[in-house]
Homo-oligomer: A and B are copies of this chain.
Amino acid sequence: MTYLRNVWYVAAWDKEVGADTLLNRTLLDEPVLLFRDDAGTVQALSNRCPHRFAPLHMGRKVEGGVQCPYHGLQFNGQGQCIHNPQGNIPKAAVVKSYPVVEKHSLIWLWMGDAARADAALIPDFSCMDPERSYVAKRYLHVKANYVLETDNIMDLSHIQFLHPGTLGSGAVADAITSVEQKGNTVYSNRQTVGDILPEFLYKQRRLPVGLPVDRWIDVRWDAPASMLLKAGSVATGRPRSEGVENDVVHLFTPETEKTSHYWFSVCNPVSMGEEGAQRAEEFVSGLQRPFTHEDLPMLEAQQAMIGDADFWSLKPVLLAGDAGAVRARRVLDKLIADERKDAETAAHAA
A161 and B71 contacting across the interface, CB-CB below 8 Å: yes
List B contacts of A50 (CB < 8 A).
315-317
A 125-160 to B, binary, CB cutoff 8 A, 1 in contact else 0: 000000000000000000000000001000101101
B70 contacts A298, C-beta separation under 8 Å = yes
Number of copies: 3
Q: Is A69 an interface residue (CB 8 A)?
A: yes
Total chain A interface residues with beta-carbon distance under 8 A:
49
Give A318 to B52 CA distance when docked, in angstroms. 9
Say yes or no: A318-B90 contact (C-beta < 8 A), given A70-B158, A70-B298, A72-B172: yes
Known: A92-B315, A298-B58. A321 touches B86 (CB 8 A): yes
A319 B90 Cβ-Cβ under 8 A? yes
Say whether A290 faces chain B, with CB atoms less than 8 Å apart: no
Stretch from A104-112, A272-280, A300-308 contacting the other chain: A300-308
Contact yes or no, B69 A162, CB < 8 A: yes
Most buried by B among A71, A155, A162: A71
Tell me the complex Cα distance, A192–B50, Å. 26
Interface residues of A in 262-293 (CB under 8 A from B): none
Given A58-B298, A69-B162, A301-B58, A51 and B157 contact (CB-CB distance below 8 Å): no
**0/1 interface trace, chain A 54-95, chain B, CB 8 Å (1 if under):** 110011000000011111110000000000111100101100
Within the complex, what minimum Cβ distance (angstroms) separates A87 from chain B?
5
- Counting CB contacts under 8 A, is A31 at the interface? yes
Given the contacts A72-B160, A161-B69, A161-B72, A305 and B86 also touching, CB distance less than 8 Å: no
List, in ascending order, chain B residues with CB within 8 A of A297's CB: 58
Chain A positions near chain B (C-beta within 8 angstroms):
31, 47-48, 50-55, 58-59, 67-73, 84-87, 90, 92-93, 151, 155, 157-158, 160-162, 172-173, 297-298, 301-302, 304-306, 314-321
